[in-house]
A and B are shown apart, each in its own frame.
Chain A
């Protein structure tokens, strides 16, 4: 076998692997199974302060007393506990009780 044909075959094999690997890497830019996962240097979330949890709010007794009424005795009425994230509004409280 002539020397040049052997060299040409070797170059062809290497180029085939190069192009094939390039195509594969381009199609699979991120590989979750890769053994190395270098730490990302510039994480914007890492520098920012973590969000503080919204304080859990409570609303007073659901059974309120009217003026002139005796306060209820015994255990106080149930209290409504708000889930985290529910915030108190700055709007005036709803006092509209009219029904038609």
Chain B
């Protein structure tokens, strides 16, 4: 197979898989602290899953961006992975992905150094995960090559719906204390 074609296919496949892994991470995180799901609050397995999913979506997300940089047709420069809205042909659609990556990296790094941080500050930074999810969803919707596929679209929308429902439940029924 032509290497350029392989990069393109890998970028698409890892993009979808990273999105699903991120959704599972966010879903398990919201479920832990939503009052309507209080029976899950003490579930160590779910907490462990929330932490573990970081190690699933990070390599997938990295593979997604590295493959896009290597793919000459995509025309993504290494700087575009950090600075959003710089790509020449679809700055918003691609920039939203960069923005979500920036936020998710911030959330992940602050979680690793949580003990050294002010708890209230950490919580506010962690809440930006919602913004990250909205931006990553819009990125998938506006630039996802495979989003037109009924199967991939239904999986993506279902994951988004699940997160939306849990987030709404958290707003309506409240949040469980730490």
Chain A: interface size category: 20 to 34
Residue of B nearest to A31 (CB): B145
**How does the 8 Å CB contact mask read for B151-163 relative to A, with 1 for contact and 0 for none?**
1100100000000
Is chain A's binding surface mostly helix, strand, loop or mixed?
helix
Number of A-B contacts (CB under 8 A): 99
**What number of B residues sit within 8 Å (CB to CB) of A?**
41
The answer to the question of B172 belonging to the interface, with a C-beta cut-off of 8 Å to chain A, is: no
Show the binding face of A for B, using Cβ within 8 Å.
1-3, 5-7, 10-11, 13-15, 17-22, 24-26, 28-29, 31, 33-36, 38-41
24 A/B residue pairs, CB under 8 Å, sorted by A? A1-B45, A2-B45, A6-B49, A7-B49, A7-B52, A10-B21, A10-B49, A13-B20, A14-B20, A14-B24, A15-B17, A17-B17, A18-B17, A21-B16, A25-B9, A25-B13, A28-B146, A29-B5, A33-B148, A35-B93, A36-B89, A36-B93, A36-B94, A41-B73
